[in-house]
Amino acid sequence: MLLNLPDKSPEKILEIFNEVYTKTKLFYLLKTAIELGLFDHLEEFRSVEELAEILKIDVVMTEYILKVLEEIGLIECKTKNGKRQYKNTEISNIFLKEGSFYSLRDPIHSCFENIKNWENLSDILKNKKYRKKEDINSFFPKVIKKLADECKCWELQKILEYIAKYEEFKNAKKLLDLGGGHGLYAIGFTLLNKNLKSYVFDLPDVVKETQKFIKKYNAKNVFTIAGNFYTDDIGNGYDIIFCSYNPGGKNPKIAQKVYNALNKGGLFINKQFFPEKESIEDFLDNIEWNMFDAEGLKKDKRKYTFKGDLNLEKYLDYLKKLGFKIIEVKDINQILGIKYGKAKIIIAKKI
Ligand SMILES: C[S@@+](CC[C@H](N)C(=O)[O-])C[C@H]1O[C@@H](n2cnc3c(N)ncnc32)[C@H](O)[C@@H]1O
């Protein structure tokens, strides 16, 4: 037996495990670096010893941590008097430093929270009681803070700039941001069109948070409407209705409400995740999506999908049937100019 080779070599198995183990180590290294505040101390060049002293951490492992961070482009290195010194690269200064306007630390921190569920995957799989239970009134106020931090780092500005080119937007007087959450889109729209009044429609506990953002950005023409878009009136007389990543964005009943609330000639701008061909990342995200229950949300089995949602083709057909003319359907990556996600933006005109 000992001298017999197995029918297949172990190469594939070892490759899979080595690859994921290396990535997992990297994940925990980054988690630790962020939690220690390492990037907050590397605005200027520092030696390994200096940094280890400041953070009160092991100098030998610090040296290797810095080498790893240099390899992945988060810090850079120079040699002074024969000694290596490190400092943040520009992207780390912008996105990883505490206090930066574009800090992504809170959104990244949510990965550190979510990874705990993966450590308990077998319990979650076997027993529903381990699944996190939320309700929409506690869940969304947390979600929108993370989304505000994320979108203001690129997506928000790019989307606003893209929509601002439309004549309908330039002439608009009244805009609804349906499920607008933080309201940063609504706020941004009023900065681009001084004659515009924006209304953020969202759940009562969420609009309390929206109002904080309105105050923070000193927005004058942005107002909130508290309600549930499935059951409540969303108002009317809008020139633009904007929808971004909200659970009603693929739902025909909400599309009908939007149609009724828009003025003739008005635009429905809908940015949503429309799952098409799924990859391994999507399958993993779908597992994570199924790890929690949220009372008040009729979740479907695929991430960011809800019971009653239509796929892109059926949704577009439905909009046409309602009386919309589809002006464009664009992959969000094309607008953002970076590889970002699988969302599409639909621009439809009420004719
Ligand atoms: C994923 S967040 C998107 C927030 C923001 N539009 C953006 O793109 O960053 C979904 C938003 O829809 C809101 N929402 C969910 N269900 C809702 C409902 N039934 N009525 C009103 N708003 C709802 C949430 O409170 C949340 O603000």
Task: Kindly state if the Cβ of 180 falls inside 6 Å of ligand 1.
Answer: yes
Q: Is the CB of residue 283 less than 8 Å from the CB of residue 303?
A: no
Query: Residue 278 — φ and ψ, nearest 5°?
Result: -100, 145
CA of 182 from ligand 1 middle (Å) equals: 9
pLDDT, tens digit, for every residue of 73-100?
Answer: 999 999 999 999 999 999 999 999 999 9
Give the Cα separation of 97 and 220 in Å (integer). Answer: 30
CA of 229 from ligand 1 middle (Å) equals: 9
Q: Would you say the C-alpha torsion 95, 102, 269, 293 has a positive or negative sign?
A: positive
Q: How confident is the model at residue 188 (pLDDT cuts 50, 70, 90)?
A: very high
pLDDT score for 275: 85
Question: What is the position in ligand 1's atom list of the atom closest to the CA of 229?
Answer: 20
pLDDT, tens digit, for every residue of 17-75?
Answer: 999 999 999 999 999 999 999 999 999 999 999 999 999 999 999 999 999 999 999 99
Q: Around Cβ 229, how many Cβ atoms within 10 Å? A: 22
Give the Cα separation of 307 and 247 in Å (integer). Answer: 10
pLDDT score for 271: 98
Percentage of residues of the chain with pLDDT beyond 70? 100
Q: Ligand 1 atom 27: the closest Cα is on which residue? A: 181
Element (H, E) at 116: helix 105-119
Give the Cα separation of 351 and 347 in Å (integer). Answer: 13
Q: Which residue has the tokens 């994940």?
A: 27
Q: What are the beta bridge partners of residue 84?
A: 79
Residue 128: is its pLDDT beyond 80?
Answer: no
CA of 228 from ligand 1 middle (Å) equals: 10
User: To the nearest whole number, what is the mean pLDDT of the chain?
Assistant: 96
Q: Is the CB of residue 275 less than 8 Å from the CB of residue 303?
A: yes
Task: Kindly state if the Cβ of 155 falls inside 6 Å of ligand 1.
Answer: no
CA of 177 from ligand 1 middle (Å) equals: 10
Count Cα neighbours of 191 within 13 Å in the Cβ-side half-sphere.
14
Residue 129: is its pLDDT beyond 80?
Answer: no
Residue 132: is its pLDDT beyond 90?
Answer: no
Return left, alpha or beta for 171; rule: phi > 0 is left, psi -120 to 50 is alpha, else beta.
alpha
Give the Cα separation of 37 and 214 in Å (integer). Answer: 30
| Mean pLDDT, residues 315-319 taken together | 98
Longest dimension (CA), the chain: 83
Q: How confident is the model at residue 313 (pLDDT cuts 50, 70, 90)?
A: very high
Give the Cα separation of 108 and 98 in Å (integer). Answer: 12
- CATH number for 143-276+296-350: choose from 3.20.20.70, 3.40.50.150, 3.40.50.80, 3.40.50.620: 3.40.50.150
Q: Is the CB of residue 307 less than 8 Å from the CB of residue 333?
A: no
Task: Kindly state if the Cβ of 140 falls inside 6 Å of ligand 1.
Answer: yes
Residue 341: is its pLDDT beyond 90?
Answer: no
DSSP classification of residue 299: B
Residue 276: is its pLDDT beyond 90?
Answer: no
Q: Crossing angle of helices 59-71/11-36, nearest 10°?
A: 110
Find, among 233, 171, 170, 173, the residue nearest to 201 by Cα: 233
Pairing of strands 238-244, 324-331: unpaired
Task: Kindly state if the Cβ of 26 falls inside 6 Å of ligand 1.
Answer: no
Domain segments of the chain as ranges: 11-98, 143-276+296-350
pLDDT, tens digit, for every residue of 210-260?
Answer: 999 999 999 999 999 999 999 999 999 999 999 999 999 999 999 999 999
Find, among 223, 164, 221, the residue nearest to 196 by Cα: 221
pLDDT, tens digit, for every residue of 160-185?
Answer: 999 999 999 999 999 999 999 999 99
Q: Where are the beta strands (DSSP E) in the chain?
A: 46-47, 75-80, 83-88, 132-135, 174-178, 197-202, 222-226, 238-244, 262-273, 292-295, 324-331, 343-350
Q: How far is CA 349 from CA 23, 34, 133, 259, 266, in A?
A: 46, 45, 39, 9, 6
Give the Cα separation of 45 and 223 in Å (integer). Answer: 46
CA of 67 from ligand 1 middle (Å) equals: 42
CA of 286 from ligand 1 middle (Å) equals: 19
Give the Cα separation of 293 and 151 in Å (integer). Answer: 25
Class of domain 11-98: mainly alpha
Task: Kindly state if the Cβ of 39 falls inside 6 Å of ligand 1.
Answer: no
